[in-house]
Chains A and B, each alone.
Chain A
Amino acid sequence: MLAGLFQYLDKDKKMPQVIIYTNSNGGVSVCHPTGELPIDQVLTKDCPPGAIIVDDSELPQGEDAKYFDAWELVDGKVKINLDKKNAIILQQQTTENAKQSALSKLAALGLTPAEITAITGA
């Protein structure tokens, strides 16, 4: 009942909107209007032909939001490209493994943690 009341009270409240389009890299660009100009004007002034206005809530949320570089615009909806997502995860793991390997090698040389931090900043 309370949910219905809040829904009634919020019926005139507009959802935040953004403009999305496929960029030159094949990914999705998300254009946030500041409100200085109407969103329709931003659409024509700041975005390429084919860009569309969507509610901010339609964009991937939660865990999927972390993999922005894997977003793709398909039939007006943002989807996660699983191949790109897996490539991002693999790259992150590779980078982390390389970092841990380098730190281990520095430790094996007898450097103290403080000395390693002084060199790497990590």
Chain B
Amino acid sequence: MRPALTWATAVVLLVAAWLVAAVTPDGEQRMADPFRVSAEIGTPAEGRNVGVTIRNLTLADRVTTGGWFAEGTWLVVELDAWAVHTELPASLGVAYLVLGDRTFAASERPGGYDTDASLYGTGLRVGFRQSGSLAFELPEDAATESGTLQLALGLTSSAIDPEPSLQGDSVIELPVDLATLPHVAERALPPTEWAAR
């Protein structure tokens, strides 16, 4: 190969490599980005293997299930949830409410008292929708803020560190303005049950 052709090939390859690096958004830092799926109230939203229909959101000063109750500032999210193609595994274990620089995980308290009182960590089924709720226990000053509800498959232990649990898979996202939500004194958490399709 002639020296001139060798140098020209090297220059072309260097420029091509620079172009690839330039058009790759933020390099490797973005390789594990979640695949965000926007949701609307009452409309089914489906990701890779998780589907939800968020039916309504309510703020409550007290939530109850069976003989258990807890007072505070609660956001109750009523929804249907299902797995799209596999149940191995498909647990609704990632549920965050992001308000500014604060991230709240869904409460494990209702499900700890009665597993039917929460969809948090429930195994989702292919071909069947389960209806139920997720409850977020919030500080009082959060009730006027706005942010984003994030739902994804994973283990409930992911509440320890939100960052890795949102990587590389679908995340259903719903914008939430807590100030505009109905605010009730008490909310009985609905039992988890099979939903009509």
A and B co-occur in one complex: no
Residues on B lying within 8 angstroms of A by beta carbon are: none
Residues on A lying within 8 angstroms of B by beta carbon are: none
